[in-house]
Structure 1
Amino acid sequence: MSTDSHSNAVDHRAICAFLYREARYLDDREWEPWLALYAPDAEYWMPAWDDDDQLTDDPHSQISLIYYPNRNGLEDRVFRIKTERSSASMPEPRTNHMITNVEVLAEQADTVEVRYNFHTLSHRYKQTDHFFGTVFLTLRKAADSFLIARKKIVLKNDYIRQVIDVYHI
């Protein structure tokens, strides 16, 4: 159902504000508020590109750059970052997330399907890296906001020289 076709459509500005808030939490390393944006059953997936420039389509049987079947995986990742048990995150990079082309693809009674582009700058060891791509997001409507029910990240520049992590996207 198109959001232009009825008056009860979700507010595009509210979706953008939610996405910007998630990006700010990542940039500011506000891990607990960031995790609170995710539903307990939220799937977080960054598929890999295969040899034929096609995305893998099954995180259970094919390679993924990142895959967490629920928020527990994200919580574990944050725990390792916060307790300095992640050599890939030490020192933590300085990041700047930019979000563009936010588009509502579909809306149901309790969910909204969203697509947007991202560009993240990450500065570490006196060098700046770029990460960019497209995110497909399922937002679950909550009382006065949303919860992320599913996040699929299509990283367009997957030939990178370091470990990719949740704060890069």
Structure 2
Amino acid sequence: MLSYEAIQSFVFQEARALDERRWADWLEFYAEDVEFWMPAWDEDDTLTNNPQNEVSLIYYASRSGLEDRIFRIETERSSATIPDTRHGKSISNLEVLSQDENSVKLRFNWITNSFRYDILDTYFGYSEYTLDTSGPKPVIKKKYVVLKNDYIHHVLDIYHI
């Protein structure tokens, strides 16, 4: 079983790899069969609950989707990253929701500041992770992200969340 400090370190290291644009390192935090999902808000101000038949802001059913996203960022085939976007994330209120010998479920709040087109945008929300801890190092099996912004001025990408 992982200590709270080890879980916190894992979350901080993943965020730092993303903020530092160490894309290959960032991908190593994810299991091959990870589900990465950021649902959208519907007209009733509730989150969509099925990425298969409702709108999502981001949805990848496996790590290959994340790998494709990174490929587009690295090869300048991403309108979300041209011109280059500077960003930094702060994490707070990390809670361990449950833990057993093979997994950890956790939740935390985040705020990301992003600078693009001479404009500073702030994105905020929370994330819930399920970590697989059965191997030599933890990996993210499920990443569920709730963006709480009402308006998004620029194209949103994985590093904003």
Could you tell me which amino acid in structure 2 is paired with residue 159 of structure 1? Y
Alignment deviations for residues 109-142 of structure 1 (CA, whole Å, 9 cap, x no partner): 2110000000000011111100100101001115
- Name 1:163's counterpart in structure 2: 155
**Superposition deviation, residue 108 in structure 1:** 2.3
In the superposition, the TM-score normalised over structure 2's length comes to 0.96
Contact 2:101–2:134 (Cα < 8 Å) also in 1? no
Match for residue 3 of structure 1? none
Matched, 1:95 2:99: no
Measure the CA separation in 1 of the matches of 2:79 and 2:55. Answer: 22
CA deviation after TM superposition for structure 1 residue 92, in Å: 2.1
Match of residue 109 from structure 1: 101
Any stretches of 5+ residues in structure 2 without a counterpart?
A: none
**Equivalent residue, structure 1, for 2:53:** 61
Rounded to whole Å, the distance in 2 between the matches of 1:35 and 1:128 is 27
**Percent identity for Structure 1 against Structure 2:** 50
* 1:25/1:32 CA distance change after superposition, 3 Å: same
Moved over 6 A (4+): none
Q: Is 1:123 aligned to residue 115 of structure 2?
A: yes
Q: Following TM superposition, by how much is the alpha carbon of 1:95 offset from its aligned partner in structure 2, in angstroms?
A: 0.7
Kindly indicate whether the alpha-carbon contact (under 8 Å) linking 1:18 and 1:145 is maintained by their aligned counterparts in 2.
no
CA distance in structure 2 between the partners assigned to 1:34 and 1:109 by the alignment: 24
Q: Does 1:43 align with 2:32?
A: no
> For this pair of structures, how many residues does the alignment match?
161
CA displacement, residues 76-116 of structure 1 (integer Å, 9 cap, x when unaligned): 00000000011221122111110000000011221100000
Q: What CA distance in whole angstroms lies between the structure 2 residues aligned with 1:64 and 1:156?
A: 14
1:135 aligns with 2:127: yes
* Cα pair 2:111 2:122 within 8 Å, conserved: yes
CA positional deviation for 1:159: 1.5
Counterpart pick for 2:63 among 60, 63, 71: 71
TM-score, normalised relative to structure 1: 0.92
